[in-house]
């Protein structure tokens, strides 16, 4: 158990809909990262938050947004969903900024858009 909790584990929704994925980082970790993993694109970095502030943005679509709350949990919002958004979405946390220390990954949310 990495200590990072992601909910829900599975999500099935229709095209055009909006979903929210939730992540609770390990106790004491200030950084939260979101990744998307699909068969054709591999593991893609989406966004990084540190102590409530956005620190880095990767290949995140404009239809996607995220935030980190004062209690350090984070949410990833995906809207106007398309079939191609079907993927595993991982959240990870670390004590320090990205890449300086190891990252701890949650078990992921498997999103299926039908």
Residue 90 touches another protein, criterion: CB under 8 A: yes
Residue 99 interacting with another protein (CB under 8 A): yes
Is residue 101 within the footprint of another protein (CB under 8 A)? yes
CA–CA dist 86, 100 (Å, integer): 30
Distances from the Cα of 70 to the Cαs of 51, 65, 66, 67, 82, in angstroms? 8, 17, 14, 10, 31
- Candidate residues 8, 16, 58, 84; the one interacting with another protein per rule CB under 8 A: 58
Give yes or no for residue 72 binding another protein (CB under 8 A): no
Q: Is residue 43 within the footprint of another protein (CB under 8 A)?
A: yes
């Amino acid at each position: 158990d990495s200590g990072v909790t992601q909910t829900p584990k599975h999500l099935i929704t229709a095209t055009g809909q909006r979903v929210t994925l939730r992540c609770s980082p390990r106790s004491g970790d200030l950084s939260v990262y979101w990744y998307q993993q699909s068969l054709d694109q591999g593991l893609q970095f989406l966004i990084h938050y540190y102590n409530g502030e956005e620190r880095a943005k990767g290949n995140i679509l404009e239809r996607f947004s995220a935030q980190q709350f004062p209690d350090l949990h984070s949410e990833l919002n995906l809207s106007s969903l398309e079939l191609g958004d079907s993927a595993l979405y991982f959240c990870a946390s670390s004590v320090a900024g990205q890449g300086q220390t190891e990252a701890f990954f949650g078990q992921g949310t498997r999103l299926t858009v039908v």
